[in-house]
Structure 1
Amino acid sequence: MIFMFLVLGILIIKYKMDPQIPLLLVFTVLLFYGYLRHFTWDEMFAGVVEGITPGIIPIMIFLLIGLLVATWLASGTIATIMVIGIHILSIRFFLPTIFIICGLVGMTIGSAFTTISTVGIALLGIGHIFGFPAPLTVGAIVSGAFFGNNMSPLSDTSNLTTSIAGVNLYDHLKNMAFTAVPAALITIVIYLFVGVPTTAVNSAKIQLMSSELSGHFQVSAWLLLPMLVVLILAWIKVPAIPTLLAGSLTAIGIFVVNHPHFSIAKIGDILMNGYHAHFGDATDGIMSGGGITGMLSSISLILCALALGGLLIKMGVVNTLINSIMQLVSRPGNLILMTSLSGIGVNLLVGEQYLSIILPGSAFKQAFHRQGIDSKYLSRTLATSGADVNALVPWGVSGIFIAGTLGVDPFQYIPLAFYPYLNPLITIILGYTFVSWKYRKQG
């Protein structure tokens, strides 16, 4: 583990190397180290397969989000959201507002990924027009999306944590509010203080950008139909893959109606390589992106990270970590701290948010029962240190997705995504204060 983090830290942070190469280097060393420790090649390859398997559905979702972004850009859905946002959003309160918007959308559809890849892209474009640095805007988008994910009954991570802990979903959400809401309020206050554009706001420039978007795209309410389709399907609990496909197909239909002379080959090129605006003005950079090829770098990083994670699990590194921590759980506060640290550790080692919930949850569940602590505190800890922290790991599935979709270096947005730091921290603090006091009082 020490070797792994030294290699990753030095090559990624100091030498600014793309994470794929350091991960493959660690994977190679670990593979031969396992062979010297008498693991067979077949055993280690089986571990690699088991590690990659949980990532197959996220990889498909990544590809479909590439399609969604490309079609929403081409159809004018993103442009419509941006033009509306330019006229109704306040520059002074922009960051707190987008945190709240992403939080509400996340609660409605139960997916941080979908929130980031839909309204998040439009809000990032508005932030660029308003003069906000992209990493700061992305930090607010990510914070809001993961807050909404935490508080949504439709969230896959909320349902996963409650099923592992054996807790009623709505009891979990009520308990989650005790950490998530204070973390959200503190985040909003922070964004109030840091949410000032780095450059002087030019109202004429903002109006010009709005006019250019309206001139290049047929901005109208019916272009919001793809977003409405996604929201409705997510609300009625249709899985992510058909939901994203429906949103993309709706946008393609709008594009075909508005551009009847475009060939099928051109539509196929947009789906594969993304939409690229060529208007010759400042909107070109904002209104270009998406496509399957735009997600391939992220997918290669996921494959490298999950392959390494599967090898670490097969060789017993992750279990050794958790079993060592299990010796330090004699009190409620320590138990919550160690459960949280285990989730964080699995995130750093494996990079997969589901495994960072499943492995610590399975290991520490009996410890919560032995100490007589309500399992809702276990489910809350798993959600905060598993799902939330995954957004802060550059080689984690969430971190890779955010960087690939929004086009921002993870090391730039991670320090500015305050909510994923605050929620686990408040969970640990409450573990040593309220939870410890409560169970000490009960004897």
Structure 2
Amino acid sequence: MKSEKKIQGNIWGLAPMMVFLLLYLGTGFITGDFNSMPVNVAFIISAIVGILMNKKIPLKEKIESFCKGAGDQNIILMGMIFLLAGGFANVAKEMGAITSTVNLGLSILPGNILVAGLFIIGCFISLSIGTSMGTIVSLTPIALGLSEQTGITLGICVGAIVGGAMFGDNLSMLSDTTIAATKTQDCDMKDKFKANIKIILPAAILTGIILTFVTAGTNVVTSKVYEYSLIKVLPYIGVLGLALSGINVLVVLVISIIFAGGIGLYTGDFTPTTLLKAISSGVIGMEDLFIISLLIGGLVGIIKLNKGLDYLIHFVGSRIKGKRGAELGIAFLIAVADICTGNNTIAIIMVGPLAKDIAEEYGIDKKRSASLLDTFSCAVQGMIPYGAQLLAAGGLAGISSFEIMKYNIYPYLMFISALFVIFYGTRKENTRAYEGYGKN
């Protein structure tokens, strides 16, 4: 900041995350196969490194920190969502919901806007329900079916879903990231919304245009009659309707599994025994993601104990110069925190207090600092291959998260748009915010 401050924390506390990045990304670049290093193995090795380092801290305390991080309520909640989402996705698939839903969409939408339509639908749903995970769970199976029916690259279809999901994760007033950002910056949600939408709306519009042009040459047989059963579309309509009503996502998924299973029993696609097996198969298919979530939480606990994030936060904060530098500092802090934690909500909670101090010292409006925190965290979250969103989408689609990253247009444009606002934002608005600082 403006005054000199002694750097706190320990740079070596970040070593576990650096080990993970070297193992996971480095192996992929060397071999050309990013699946050559299993992500769960990379996290286990990194956690072991974190536990073994810093001999000044008792081994028991380090193990307890790992366990507390893994047992964080947000991590457990995310894991439960994974398991139930897998159950619902598989039940819906086995009773024919995906095929009917895709065929219905193909019957209604022109071929050149199918993928752009997925993105727009994803934006609407995530904005309404406030959860990227719920959106991804609901729409990824549809993206999979759409790719199979049309021949459009699966990564493009799933990338459109993830992009739409991150739109609402960033902007919705029901989103955890919005709640965390506004609470840590002490600003109203409606004010943050107004500041936020100016940053990301151009990116969303450009994404829709790009997706339209990218898939414009797709050879979709429009004269073909696509068969579908409206009753088999109901599970997706039901899960979206329940989510829009504001019901807890866990309750939504449980009800949706029962609803989809009931339709499957009615149509004869299931017997009671095969229904239970379908649920079990879907849950088992997501167990690996649950374990990865636990490992990420534990690794974050070790990094915090070893003062790694403290070092990073104070290192950046002590080098800020000027208002633009302060905004870039906030962006850098939240981006790195999200890379280290793999969870944008946790990253905002960690960085939020320091971001507020920086904003107050340099006269940055509270709604602006909140929107920067939320936007950059969601943008980075949509890019990292080990983030919950890409892992879930990849798991449901049966492809590597790197295959989605190549076509995940919106998070990249959101990141660029936010940087553009920092460098070329309205000077009048910034000046007015600075002059008003301290008068409220």
Conserved? CA contact 2:24–2:38, under 8 Å: no
Counterpart AA for 2:192: H
SS at the partner of 1:92? Answer: helix
Q: CA deviation at 1:67?
A: 1.2
Conserved? CA contact 1:51–1:306, under 8 Å: yes
Aligned to 1:324: 315
Conserved? CA contact 1:175–1:376, under 8 Å: yes
Conserved? CA contact 2:143–2:154, under 8 Å: no
Q: CA deviation at 1:49?
A: 2.2
Deviation readout 1:193-217 (Å, 9 max, x if unpaired): 32245xx72628x937x34xx4xxx
Residue pairs, 1:5-404, within 5 angstroms: 5-15=21-31, 16-34=36-54, 36=55, 38-52=56-70, 53=72, 54-196=74-216, 201=219, 203=221, 207=224, 210-211=226-227, 214=228, 219-220=229-230, 222-259=231-268, 262-273=270-281, 291-404=282-395
**Displacement over 6 Å in runs of 4+:** none
Whole-Å Cα distance in 2 between the matches of residues 223 and 362 of structure 1? 48
Counterpart AA for 1:386: S
Deviation readout 1:314-370 (Å, 9 max, x if unpaired): 111111111101113332221221211111211221212211111111221122122
Conserved? CA contact 2:265–2:272, under 8 Å: no
- The range that moved more, 222-231 or 166-175, is 222-231
Whole-Å Cα distance in 2 between the matches of residues 256 and 376 of structure 1? 50
Counterpart AA for 1:251: A
SS at the partner of 2:318? Answer: helix
SS at the partner of 1:93? Answer: helix
Distance 1:349 1:257, change over 3 A: same
Conserved? CA contact 1:384–1:420, under 8 Å: no
Unaligned runs of 5+ in 2: 1-13, 436-440
Whole-Å Cα distance in 1 between the matches of residues 51 and 28 of structure 2? 21
Q: From 404, 409, 423, give the equivalent of 1:418.
A: 409
Conserved? CA contact 1:357–1:383, under 8 Å: yes
Whole-Å Cα distance in 1 between the matches of residues 323 and 207 of structure 2? 27
Whole-Å Cα distance in 1 between the matches of residues 401 and 194 of structure 2? 31
Aligned to 1:286: none
Whole-Å Cα distance in 2 between the matches of residues 423 and 317 of structure 1? 28
Whole-Å Cα distance in 2 between the matches of residues 226 and 266 of structure 1? 18
Q: Which has the higher contact order (CA 8 A, sep 6+)?
A: 2
Give me the identity figure in percent: 23
Deviation readout 1:279-329 (Å, 9 max, x if unpaired): xxxxxxxxxxxx011101222222222222221111111111111011133
Normalised to the residue count of structure 1, the TM-score between the two structures is: 0.87
Deviation readout 1:134-190 (Å, 9 max, x if unpaired): 111111111112113333223232222222222211111111111110111121232
Whole-Å Cα distance in 2 between the matches of residues 180 and 415 of structure 1? 20
Q: CA deviation at 1:84?
A: 0.7
Distance 1:149 1:355, change over 3 A: closer
Aligned-residue RMSD, C-alpha: 2.2
Q: CA deviation at 1:250?
A: 0.9
Distance 1:418 1:328, change over 3 A: farther
Whole-Å Cα distance in 1 between the matches of residues 189 and 150 of structure 2? 40
Conserved? CA contact 2:326–2:362, under 8 Å: no
Conserved? CA contact 1:106–1:147, under 8 Å: yes
Counterpart AA for 1:24: I
Counterpart AA for 1:62: F
Counterpart AA for 2:27: L
- The range that moved more, 333-342 or 146-155, is 146-155
Question: Number of residue pairs matched?
Answer: 412
SS at the partner of 1:203? Answer: coil
